[in-house]
Chain A
Amino acid sequence: MQILIQSIEKSFKKQKVLENIDFTIESGHIFCLLGASGSGKTTLLRIIMGALKADSGSVTIDDLSVPDRRLLSLIGYMPQNDALYEELTVWENLKFFAGLHKMPRADFLKAAQALLSMTEMTDYQQKLIRNCSGGMKKRVSLMVALMHHPKLLLLDEPTVGVDPVLRRKIWQHLNSLKDGGATILVTTHVMDEVYQCDDAGLIRNGRIVALDTVKNLIASTQNSNIEELFFTNPTKDEVPAC
């Protein structure tokens, strides 16, 4: 699914959070939104999803203008905080969200078991979320986002608090979803995750400061460290062409 983001502006009270955001995420790509906390990543993600209304500008996903209810079943959203029900078990959480997507039971059982084994949570499926560690909650939250086979994934810092081995496994899974045709938008402030993506946008103080394929971005730095672009492109007014 192609995401077309056109001149998005957003302010909270008087503070400008997003300014003149303009880019396109190509269908079947993994796009990474990189930026420090407070740079506007989450706000942008919520606008793309339709949970938040932009002050101006528009988001179009495959010719459907956001918000559109037809899009909701196609999107898998993983918020930054876990947004799970503490008093429910891992399994009950999965079941609840599957129910909201009206997944058939057989389909749900298959998807849930596959995801549980992918995230190494099979042994903990009867554990209450309240008793889960931060990393476990993160994994459950990811499962909830992936369960209904979405065509577009919006993941807000999906691997924070997840150990490196599992992180690699999750990225392998995301890559296999991409091969299956899914479009994925990930936010992160961890640099090494950027290398897993096709394209990246660097966001700083609500503006996109660099935007290109990851390959080109790396090539444009002196020591292959994308982080440097935050310093070489200090909040310029014009957005670099894609």
Chain B
Amino acid sequence: MLSIIKRILSQIKNDKRSLGLLLFAPLLVITLLYFILDDSSYVPKIAVFDINEQLVTGLDENAELTILDELPVDDNYLETNNLDALFYTDTDGLKLLMLEQNSKSTAALKAITDAVANLQKNSPNQIETSYVYETDSENLLDSMSYVILGVISFFFVFILSGMSFVRERFGQTLERMLTTPISRVDVIAGYTIGYGILAALQSVVIILYSAYVLSIHIEGSVGLSILVMILMAFSAVSIGALVSIFANNELQLVQFIPVVVNPQIFFSGLIPIDTIPFGLGNLCYFAPIYYGCTALQKIMIQGKGLAEIWPWLLGSFAYILILFSINVLALKKYRSI
């Protein structure tokens, strides 16, 4: 088992590009996403009608304002004028109309609530908010960081372990390995731990980079997040090895990526599980990423600790064990003893 772990580490040491891709490609993707999703510098365009002058002055600091003389009746007004929000007063009080929920409307909403809060520190007025295109989802950006980290790490590790296992089958080194007295358990354990170490290294790099370079907000413990990521990475290694059984060559493994990875994204928390119809949400228990991402969400967003997230850690762990046993059994194809 130790020989296999050492071999995997020397293999990757001699293949600097793969190592670089494993460690830095996720950082590149995360950085890119960070800038794409970063909207803090966006100045929202807001049209105002019949709003208290002080509020307008306050708002002017954070937004590009268009002062209207009459309330537009056209539904397409915001779209045709390329505006993000319409802020107005009618008989019921303050009203805010926006196009749809996205990063721009979030920025507009933030500018207005900030201005209102500044003005009426003690009793902020209720603003009735509505959207032209109504969606019920909560704000995506707030809840996305854990999905991104989980999915990206899972994806890279899955490809790495799946590919090397396919190559091992295809190049018949696996068969050769099994002509030695090594046991099947040792082969899979060596494999899982060897690639697990690489995956763990990747997890540490990703979390540290996200937390300290990109300053992505982690409410709970960074160490615990790393632990969850490592567990998730181990399950990605095992799932890569499992899928490689069904692939006869590298191309087929690549074809498996959308089949295996996409559903994981659906169950990663991007879509609230309990809103998925026909009980299909229960399929999440088959997605290793569900356990990892839910735990990550609880740590990074809700600031929960080990006491609250242990069921998901246990789930992750059980998943790894099950995949491990399946992989050991699958090796029987190459050696029945």
Contacts and interface: CB of A to CB of B under 8 A. Distances in A.
B334 A51 contact: yes
Contacts of A49: 179
A88 B337 contact: no
Interface string A84-116: 111111001000110111100000000000000
A84 B335 contact: no
A83 B181 contact: no
Interface residues on A, range: 20 to 34
A137 to B, nearest CB: 11
A8 B15 CA distance: 43
B175 interface: yes
A62 interface: no
B307 to A, nearest CB: 42
B110 interface: no
A50 B332 CA distance: 12
Contacts of A67: 335-337
A42 B330 CA distance: 23
B251 interface: no
Interface stretch (A32-40, A69-77, A228-236): A69-77
B7 A77 contact: no
Contact of A81 (B6, B15, B171, B337): B171
Interface residues of B, number: 25
Nearest to B167: A86
Contact of B175 (A73, A79, A87): A79
Interface in B148-198: 171-173, 175-182
Contact of A83 (B14, B15, B176): B176
A101 B179 contact: no
Nearest to B15: A87
A87 to B, nearest CB: 4
B180 A88 contact: no
Interface in B307-337: 334-337
A144 B180 CA distance: 11
Interface of B: 2-4, 6-7, 10-12, 14-15, 171-173, 175-182, 334-337
Given A75-B179, A84-B173, A96-B7, 4 more contacts: A50-B335, A50-B336, A72-B181, A96-B3
6 contacts: A50-B179, A77-B179, A81-B172, A86-B171, A99-B2, A100-B177
